[in-house]
Copies of this chain bind each other. A is one copy, B any other.
Amino acid sequence: MLIKKSKRSATCSAKSEVLQKAQKAKIAARAAAMLSGAVKNQSLLALAAALEEKTPKILQANFLDRQRAQKNKLSAALLDRLALDAQRVKAMADGLRALARLPDPNNRVLEKTRRPNGLRIEKISVPLGVIAIIYEARPNVTADAAGLCLKAGSAALLRGGSDAAESNKTIAAVLRQALQANGLPPDLIQNIENTDRRAVSELLSLREYIDLLIPRGGAGLIQKVVRESSIPVIETGTGNCHVYVDESAKLPQALNIALNAKVSRPSVCNAAETLLVHEKIAAKFLPPMLRAYQNAGVKIHGCAKTRKYAPAVLPATPEDYAREYLDLEIAVKVVAGVDEAIEHIYRYGTKHSEAIVTENKRNAEKFLQKVDAAAALVNASTRFTDGGEFGFGCEIGISTQKLHARGPMGLRELMSYKYLVRGQGQIRK
Chain A residues in the interface with B (C-beta under 8 A): 1-3, 30, 33-34, 113, 115, 119, 121, 126, 128-129, 207, 211-212, 226-227, 230, 232-234, 250, 253, 256-257, 259-261, 264, 318, 322, 346-351, 364, 368-370, 372-381, 383-385, 389-391, 401-404, 406-407, 416-429
Contacts and interface: CB of A to CB of B under 8 A. Distances in A.
A380 B119 contact: yes
Q: This chain: how many copies in the complex?
A: 2
Contacts of A364: 422
B427 A390 contact: no
Nearest 4 interchain pairs by C-beta: A380-B423, A260-B427, A402-B416, A383-B428
A370 B98 CA distance: 29
A113 B3 CA distance: 44
Pick from A383, A407, A416 the residue with the most CB of B within 10 Å: A416
A63 to B, nearest CB: 33
Given A369-B34, A379-B423, A380-B426, A1 B402 contact: no
B391 A428 contact: no
A253 to B, nearest CB: 4
A416 B428 contact: no
A375 B261 CA distance: 45
Contacts of A347: 1-3
Contacts of A429: 264
A264 B418 contact: no
Contact of A128 (B212, B232, B403): B403
A119 to B, nearest CB: 6
A333 to B, nearest CB: 15
A2 B121 contact: no
Given A227-B230, A380-B427, 7 more contacts: A33-B372, A115-B391, A250-B425, A256-B427, A260-B427, A375-B421, A378-B420
Contact of A417 (B226, B264, B348, B406): B406
B374 A418 contact: yes
Contacts of A3: 347
Given A322-B2, A404-B403, A428 B264 contact: yes
15 contacts: A1-B350, A128-B403, A264-B428, A372-B418, A377-B421, A379-B422, A379-B423, A380-B421, A380-B422, A380-B427, A384-B421, A389-B428, A403-B416, A404-B404, A406-B417
A367 to B, nearest CB: 10
A211 B423 contact: no
B381 A428 contact: yes
B264 A427 contact: yes
B427 A373 contact: no
B257 A427 contact: yes
B226 A403 contact: no
A20 to B, nearest CB: 20
A372 B264 CA distance: 45
A368 B427 contact: no
A351 B389 CA distance: 36
A376 B379 CA distance: 46
Contacts of A383: 427-428
A256 B427 CA distance: 7
A126 B372 CA distance: 9
Contacts of A211: 401-403
Given A380-B426, A426-B381, A373 B418 contact: yes
